[in-house]
Amino acid sequence: MNFQILDADYFREEDRPVVRLFGRSDDGKSVCCLVPGFEPYFYLSASGDLQKLGQTIKDRFDVVKDIEVVERFEPIGYQETKQPMLKVTTFDPRNVPEIRDEVAEMLGGGKVYETDILFRNRFLIDKGFKGMGWVSAETDTDVSKGDLLCDHVMRSSELTEVDRIANAPLKYMAFDIECLPHDGGMPTPDVSPIIMVSFSFEPAYKGHSTIVLVKKEVEGVDDDVEMFTEEADLLNRFFEIITEYDPDVITGYNINDFDVPYIVDRVKTLNESGGGIRSVVGRDSRQLSYRKIISRTMVSIPGRVVVDALPLIRQQFSLKRYTLRNVSKELLDREKLDVAPADMEEHWNDSGEKIRKFIDYARRDSELALELLLKLKLLDKYIALSRVSGVLLQDTVSGGQTNMVEHILMTEFGKQGRVMSTKPDDETSAFRRKQNENLKGGAVLEPEKGLHENVIVLDYKSLYPTIMMAHNLCYTTVVKPGTYPEEDIIRSPSKGEFVKPDIFKGVVPSVLEHLLDQRISTKQLMKKASDEGEYRVLDATQLALKILLNSFYGYSGYARARLYSLQMANSVTSIGRGNIARTEDIVCNKIGRIILRDNVAYLTDEVSDSREDDKVVKLSVAYGDTDSVFVHCRNDCDEEFAEGEFSLEDSALVGRKVASIVTASLPDPMELEFEAAAKRVLLIAKKRYAQWIFEPTNDGWEDQIKVKGLETVRRDWCELTSKMLNRVLELVLKEGDIDGSVRHVRELVDRVRNLDVQKDADIVEDLVLTKSFSKSPSSYKNKQPHLTVVENIQRRTGVRPAIGERIPFVITAGKGLFVDRAEDPEYVREHNITLDVDYYIQKQMLPPVERILGVFGVDVATLNHDSKQKGLFDFDRSPEEKVETVRRTCRGTEASAQQADQKTQSSLFDF
DNA sequence: TGGACATCCTAA
DNA sequence: TTAGTTAGGATGTCCA
């Protein structure tokens, strides 16, 4: 029988570990396969007589089953030969952590390896099985199900990997609980009962796509509402439904931090007074539990995957708030039904419309959670990451990149006879963090500030991974500087030394090569994919490969990594910095000019003659960051091309020519790529710019305004700023309409200045700022506006928003520091408090727009318009003033001076 | 008043 | 068992 691996763990059978693989078969049955015979082990290296040491260890620890002398490489550093080590096999997986410290003490200068590898991962790695991968098992062994809650239980030591792309028909379930708090505050599990639970199912459960359990008799409800008088009965039914439905994926919104811990604690409270609740939710008889690990709750359910939609959405979408209400509205365009916490008690006690509304509200919440997971395809990426990295789905969903990188490297290390380091202790990590002060990053070129036309965007494809591949940078190739002959090493600008690949090909470069090859072939398959499901899986796969490719550099400089090499990390970035500098030099000096003739791009020395219709394109680098360069194309006289003289196709010809020249100068597989052509680019500062960009598609070009770093993409600015700036950027980039921009800003400023709360309700909405409440209030050294609001809310409601939440606030009118005048928008609305319009004009509107329009000589005085104060800065200025504006612009940057000289650009300053 | 520092959030 | 990296801009507080 074939099944897809969802989860894995082990149990003890007559004092021997038996691995359990949980999964779902292609015909939709849940499966548990018991695999006996796999043994836990670890390694140690020491000087002296290993045979003798082995005997000593075996005599001392009776949990040691076997000791063997083997040959292995150490994890870090190039080594010419393997060295003898001891492989210690124990009876039980838990013996390994039990004895590792004592064993380590016996070694003196020696070390232990792989003593902290979870047994299930050890099994997956050694056997070559992958999370969400397919395996085939013999089913002929008859096995009693015992406490296992699966359709099929089997036992097999002979499992084989199966090559299959499609996923099994998985079952998804979302749930959400409602509690009855004391008096509008936060419910606490010791006193506040769970009064409702809602479920949503995909596929449906006994014909129901949702079910609501209610601790109350209610009349006139649908048949998918089940009613209980006892909370314990309701909860027992909750667990019964889960085990009966037998979902593979359990989801919900904020379930890890709220619903699951609440249920667990509530069950405990009820059982203390004889509730008799058995909270079995997994595929074995263990009861529901959670673990708190420093402000973070981890939930795992045997045989299933727990997916809290909240952290996934946080990670994947940049939103101002992550309440279920806001997320549904922004991402699903669906409204959350609402019963305010303060009104819950009233709704609950009602026996008519209100209680039915409350039930619908509860139902909608689990519906939304499931919809988020399925419609936004949140899980696709994680399933692909599991299949590519081999890590179990639960671990890709709730873990970080470290998990996956280490799993991949450990698999490869195992194959090459190399042992893996243990995780560093706190002291080591702290030391490494200190060392990391010497880790330098990418280079950011000083932008040629101002507005430019005809800019080509070139970027390096997977820069850091290709640097590691091209230069054989690896933990396994790094050597102490000066210890190997020049001809055998590659030296980075940061003075890191690595043996050449013909001496030893690094594990990381090989792994990256494999990942890159897979990505290329996956993209090929995507072009041929016929059905949508297959395309979706392939697309997620190539994305997962990209994520993994880009994880290795960060991992190499991560203080808590099993493998850490400052020398390697620094070499990657130093080569990167050298590379972008060299690229700039090639583009500006070595190439300098491109000749366009008959739709072909030539270097100046590739043409011997000069023709009438040649188009000479002069190149300069206007900006660059880490792996990209913006190449400004101008005519031979250093001026912008006249309207229509330089087409997108010309951009592409030049861009591809330049990219190929640069690529040819680089070691394989480093590659500079033509990414897009920008008609206009506005460079404000490093990491802050806007482009009107045209990306090549199969049949032509796709244009958009792309904004990086400016206030429109920052969540700590209000919507008013974003909207105003977006309009200004569009006018400037697409129309070159400075005049219109100024008019637009003046209009908005005037509206805000004379804000009518009734009439301009839409603007009031747009004045809300948000900031992330990122740490405990006591560790803030300065006052912060959102902290003021957090304190206000806590004082009024007794509930403090959770750390990590984004806090909305507005600035109210009054005297003193602005932080003290930050207030909860909700509270302001209810109490009709006046906002500080001056703050919004002076701090939110004018500075960002001045940074943009200042490029064209527009100053704050021009923008700061007040219709009630006629005369002074009236928009229809005198001719003399207009001249002054243009002159100021000309005096500005060199670029804008050049633009001002041109006829085509004069309209920009005609206001 | 002005510079150091804290804080936030983004680019890559 | 449980958190990839540095570079950099902008704002506002704190304190000399």
3-class SS at A113?
A: strand
Mean pLDDT over residues A210-225, rounded? 96
* Cβ contact A134:A164 at 8 Å: yes
pLDDT value at residue A895:
40
3-class SS at A532?
A: helix
Q: Which nucleotides of strand B come closer than 7 angstroms to any CB of the protein?
A: 5-12
Q: Is the pLDDT of residue A64 over 80?
A: yes
pLDDT value at residue A905:
32
pLDDT value at residue A872:
46
Residue A535, CA atoms < 13 Å, CB-side half-sphere: 6
**β-sheet bridge partners, residue A479:** A497
| Residue A547 contacts strand C, CB under 7 A | no
Distance A571 CA to C6 C1' (A): 14
d(CA A625, CA A443): 6
Q: What is the pLDDT of residues A736-774, one digit of tens each?
A: 999 999 999 999 999 999 988 788 888 889 999 999 999
Distance A4 CA to C15 C1' (A): 63
Q: What is the pLDDT of residues A774-785, one digit of tens each?
A: 999 999 999 999
| Residue A685 contacts strand C, CB under 7 A | yes
- Listing DSSP states for A650-715 in one string gives HHHHHHHHHHHHHHHTS-TT--EEEEEEEEEEEEEETTEEEEEEEEEETTEEEEEEEEESSGGG-T
| Residue A429 contacts strand C, CB under 7 A | no
Q: Which residues in A527-662 belong to E strands, given as ranges? A: 593-597, 600-603, 615-624, 628-634
d(CA A405, CA A797): 45
Nucleotide nearest to A706 (CA to C1'): B11
pLDDT value at residue A611:
94
Q: Is the pLDDT of residue A249 over 50?
A: yes
Distance A751 CA to C12 C1' (A): 26
| Residue A314 contacts strand B, CB under 7 A | no
Residue linked to tokens 């419910």: A187
**Nucleic chain C: which protein residues 39-98 of A have CB below 7 A from it?**
97
Mean pLDDT over residues A349-375, rounded? 97
Return the structure tokens found at A256: 């890890």
d(CA A1, CA A428): 47
pLDDT value at residue A870:
54
d(CA A828, CA A704): 38
Residue nearest the C1' of B11 (CA based): A687
Q: Is the pLDDT of residue A901 over 90?
A: no
Nearest to A478 by CA among A904, A880, A79, A751: A79
pLDDT value at residue A727:
98
d(CA A751, CA A252): 43
Residue nearest the C1' of B10 (CA based): A709
pLDDT value at residue A871:
46
Q: Residues of A383-392 as b/e, b for ≥16 C-beta within 10 angstroms? A: bbbbbbbbbb
| Residue A110 contacts strand B, CB under 7 A | no
Q: What is the pLDDT of residues A637-687, one digit of tens each?
A: 999 999 999 999 999 999 999 999 999 999 999 999 999 999 999 999 999
Return the number of other C-beta atoms located less than 10 Å from residue A705's C-beta: 16
| Residue A229 contacts strand B, CB under 7 A | no
pLDDT interval class at A897 (50, 70, 90): very low
Listed range (A73-77, A79-83, A906-910) with the worst mean pLDDT: A906-910
| Residue A116 contacts strand C, CB under 7 A | yes
pLDDT value at residue A881:
44
pLDDT value at residue A139:
66
pLDDT value at residue A272:
96
**β-sheet bridge partners, residue A509:** none
Listed range (A152-161, A412-421, A856-865, A880-889) with the worst mean pLDDT: A880-889
pLDDT interval class at A287 (50, 70, 90): very high
Q: What is the pLDDT of residues A571-613, one digit of tens each?
A: 999 999 999 999 999 999 999 999 999 999 999 999 999 999 9
| Residue A779 contacts strand C, CB under 7 A | no
Residue nearest the C1' of C13 (CA based): A782
| Residue A714 contacts strand B, CB under 7 A | yes
pLDDT value at residue A490:
98
3-class SS at A214?
A: strand
pLDDT value at residue A904:
28
Q: Is the pLDDT of residue A377 over 80?
A: yes
Nucleotide nearest to A551 (CA to C1'): C4
Return the structure tokens found at A402: 């470290």
Q: Is the pLDDT of residue A874 over 60?
A: no
Distance A338 CA to C10 C1' (A): 37
pLDDT value at residue A309:
98
Distance A839 CA to B1 C1' (A): 21
d(CA A538, CA A839): 50
Distance A563 CA to C6 C1' (A): 19
Q: Is the pLDDT of residue A844 over 70?
A: yes
- Listing DSSP states for A394-441 in one string gives HHHHHS-HHHHHHHHHHHHHHHTTBPPPPPP-HHHHHHHHHHGGG---
**β-sheet bridge partners, residue A694:** A677, A703
Q: What is the pLDDT of residues A807-823, one digit of tens each?
A: 999 999 998 889 999 99
Residue nearest the C1' of B12 (CA based): A626
| Residue A343 contacts strand C, CB under 7 A | no
Q: Is the pLDDT of residue A894 over 60?
A: no
Distance A771 CA to C11 C1' (A): 13
Mean pLDDT over residues A269-292, rounded? 96
Whole-number average pLDDT of chain A = 93
Domains of chain A and CATH, by start: 2-162 (3.30.342.10), 172-377 (3.30.420.10), 436-504+565-709 (3.90.1600.10), 723-863 (1.10.132.60)
| Residue A402 contacts strand C, CB under 7 A | yes
Q: Is the pLDDT of residue A906 over 70?
A: no
Nearest to A126 by CA among A115, A134, A117: A117
Q: Is the pLDDT of residue A878 over 60?
A: no
Distance A817 CA to B4 C1' (A): 20
Distance A253 CA to B10 C1' (A): 27
| Residue A625 contacts strand B, CB under 7 A | yes
Distance A72 CA to B11 C1' (A): 42
How deeply is A341 buried, as exposed, middle or buried, from its count of CB atoms within 10 A (0-12, 13-18, 19+)? middle
Q: What percent of chain A has pLDDT over 70?
A: 95
**Nucleic chain C: which protein residues 813-842 of A have CB below 7 A from it?**
817-819
Q: Which nucleotides of strand C come closer than 7 angstroms to any CB of the protein?
A: 1-14
